[in-house]
Amino acid sequence: MSTDSTKAKPEGNSDRQLAEAILPLVGGAANVTSVSHCMTRMRLGLADRSRVQDEPLKALPGVLGVVEDDTYQIVLGPGKVARITPEFEALVEAEAEAARDRATAQVAAGQTAGDPAGDPAGAPRTADELAAEGAAIRAARKEKNATPVKLMLRRVANIFVPLIPALIGCGIVAGINGLFTNAGWLPALTPALAAIASGFMSLIAVFVGLNTAKEFGGTPVLGGAAAAVIVFPGVADVSAFGQKLAPGQGGVLGALFAALLAVYVEKACRRLVPSAVDVLVTPTVTVLVAGLVTLFGLMYVCGEIATGIGHLADWLLQHGGAAAGFVLGGLFLPLVMLGLHQALIPIHTTLIEQSGYTVLLPILAMAGAGQVGAAVAIYLRLRRNTSIRKTIRSALPAGFLGVGEPLIYGVSLPLGRPFITACVGGAFGGGVVGLFYQLGTSVGSTAIGPSGWALFPLLKGDQGLGAIAAIYGLGLAAGYLVGFVATYFFGFSKQMLSELNAPTETETAVGKGTSPEPPHPGSPEPSPAPAPAGGPGSLV
């Protein structure tokens, strides 16, 4: 399929049509080995990375950008990715089924894979060979960035990211319930809203246990069973380290370690227990050993750790205030670039479990505000660079809603200095929110994942919603303003401005009254800022 034919414009059409436009650009169903998604990205495992047409893919309306990490990630935006991914999976399965049918028909007709009639070149490559080649390519790419710490953080993220939609939904319901309660509206409905908002959080340990066991190769339901001990009301009758346990003590950290222990116990049993009695012995030993260790060790220890995390966050912002917010807001984008931001996910979840909201997320979200301010400054400074300005115009609305990857990987990071000035904007925004915390008003989020303007419905703190929203909005404004000013005046050297604003050959030809030479068929379109390989994933 030619480049021109694949650059269909599905704008305004169904999600399935966008999925249909994406599939051939990633090499077709035969090139897709896995499909999943997080809050903003569709994540694809690829057999052969070289078969992907990056530029036409990024040019599709509805595709906000691409990021290359351990998987090939297509940025589609929150909400939309959850609708497009199932359509894409269905297309992959349908195409794969059609390929199997064709292969069966060829075999029935006597056309073997090595038959010259079936393959004029006489040297076909089998699916196994392609898969092996793709695995080698992926292994080589992963080896460059696959440090033990980053691999572990990715696995931790894989445990918690699937929980984010429920956290968001329940968080918004909790906000609505708080609004109704404070205003005295619909008193008969507020208990039901409270139950809906709190039900998931009361059992989040079970979901963490299920996902942990699945991620580490155990039986999910056994991981969930081990973690369920933590939230069982009857643990109040159990004592450990001279103290009575409380239901929920240890929280998500206890659930994670309980399920991880269950995985190792289960795997040991699978190796040692005779197959004749495995179905009886292995589950029993797994839940028994993991349950006892959880009750008489993990719940207490992880409870102390969780309490310490809460106290540390409170102490840091109470005593550090603006300085702490400045550092956190300024360092978040570099943490994202290194993939270390994933370590914050269980910390956010622990804070939400303890107090109903995380005070760290609104501060870290200011990094996106600095990024937006920097992008506006770049747009104004590079008046002659139509390609970069086009990228900014398409990515800026998503940036206001907290989807920062297109601006990071498509604009500021490749330019270099604007990435630093964007971090400065995020630092000042974080400093504003941190200052108000020190003055006595905490601003938090009831869920993780969204940022930018999309975080407003999830705001919660120790004051009224109006005051909290005003402080958060003030932080965003500071991030926008400082990111803009720092980038406009300090984001470019004279040489950078001269080179980036130089007229292109096409503009020069048009200015002379001549028609620009058309591009050669199949030649790539110019791209001002290709996404760097190996870029880390987002918080979701």
| Positions marked catalytic | 38
Phi/psi for 26 (5° steps) reads -100, 15
Reading the block at residue 331, the tokens are 């360092």
Q: How far apart are CA 276 and CA 285, in angstroms?
A: 15
Task: Round to whole Å and give the CA distance between 187 and 465.
Answer: 19
Contacts of 49 (CB under 8 A, 6+ apart): 72, 134, 137, 138, 141
CA–CA separation, 43 and 406 (whole Å): 16
Q: Assess contact for 425 and 480: CB atoms under 8 A.
A: yes
CA distance 94 to 97: 5
In angstroms, rounded to a whole number, what is the distance separating the alpha carbons of residues 449 and 164? 7
- DSSP category for residue 358: B
Q: How far apart are CA 46 and CA 138, in angstroms?
A: 8
Return the structure tokens found at 498.
């001269």
Q: Which residues of 302-329 are buried (b: 16+ CB within 10 A; e: fewer)?
A: bbebbeebbeebeebbeebbbbbbbbbb
Distance CA 463, CA 3 (A): 55
Q: Side-chain half-sphere of 440: how many Cα atoms within 13 Å?
A: 1
Contact 325, 293 (CB under 8 A): no
Cβ proximity of 355 and 444 under 8 Å? yes
Contact (CB, 8 A) for 5 and 77: no
Q: For residue 147, what are the contacts with CB-CB under 8 A and spacing of at least 6?
A: none
Q: What are the φ and ψ backbone dihedral angles of 388, each rounded to 5 degrees?
A: -65, -40
For residue 436, give the nearest of 480, 478, 484 by alpha carbon.
478
CA distance 174 to 162: 20
Copy the structure tokens of residue 118: 């079936």
**What are the E-state strand segments in 103-176?**
none
> Are 428 and 369 contacting, i.e. CB atoms less than 8 angstroms apart?
no
The structure tokens listed for 109 are 């007709």
E strand residue ranges, 7-116? 32-37, 41-46, 65-68, 72-75
Encoded tokens for 49: 């990375």
DSSP lists the bridge partners of residue 142 as none
The residue among 152, 477, 77, 535 whose CA lies nearest residue 334 is 535
Is the alpha carbon torsion for 18, 22, 24, 28 positive or negative?
Answer: negative
